[in-house]
Amino acid sequence: MERKHTISVLVENEFGVLARVAGLFSSKGYNIDSLSVSETTDPTLSRMTIVTHGSDQIVEQIIKQLNKLVNVITVEDLTRERHITREMCLIKVKPGAKAEVLKIAERLGARALENNAHAVVVEVTGDEEDLHKALEALKPHGIMEVVRTGMIAIQRGEHVLVGG
């Protein structure tokens, strides 16, 4: 049975690592639904959050192969662990119903980054459901453009993703 998996990968912060990780997914025929990468507090390391769909067995194989890549330090599938996810979305809406759009943004805990005669740009941060609610609420007001960051995730509690 296929389901969504959220995978955290700690890698060396070097040229070509992202291409090797993406290539591994591609070679197995699996799409990366979301990918977010950033340097950690240690500038020699980066952390990737990868969201994909697949059976537990296939994702397990991908994780085993990720662990074999030279520049990969640690891989964890957060799917079965208690974790927090967040994503940011910028939504540009037609300025026609500006007051209503601003009310919706306030109700959703979003904030307006631009508000002029040409467009209203709203920043929404939350989990996948929060972003879906915002898009649905703003859709009737004429969404012009949407940009999403990709999901980031961190395990709850004292557990820390470290090399090792």
pLDDT category at 164 given cuts 50, 70, 90 is: low
Q: What is the pLDDT of residue 145?
A: 98
Residue 10 and residue 28: Cα distance in Å, rounded?
Answer: 21
Are 39 and 6 spatial neighbours (Cβ–Cβ below 8 Å)?
Answer: no
Q: What is the pLDDT of residue 93?
A: 97
Q: What is the pLDDT of residue 1?
A: 86
Nearest to 91 by CA among 43, 47, 50, 139: 139
What pLDDT, in 10s, does the model give residues 92-107?
Answer: 999 988 999 999 999 9
The arithmetic mean of pLDDT across residues 3-8, rounded, is: 94
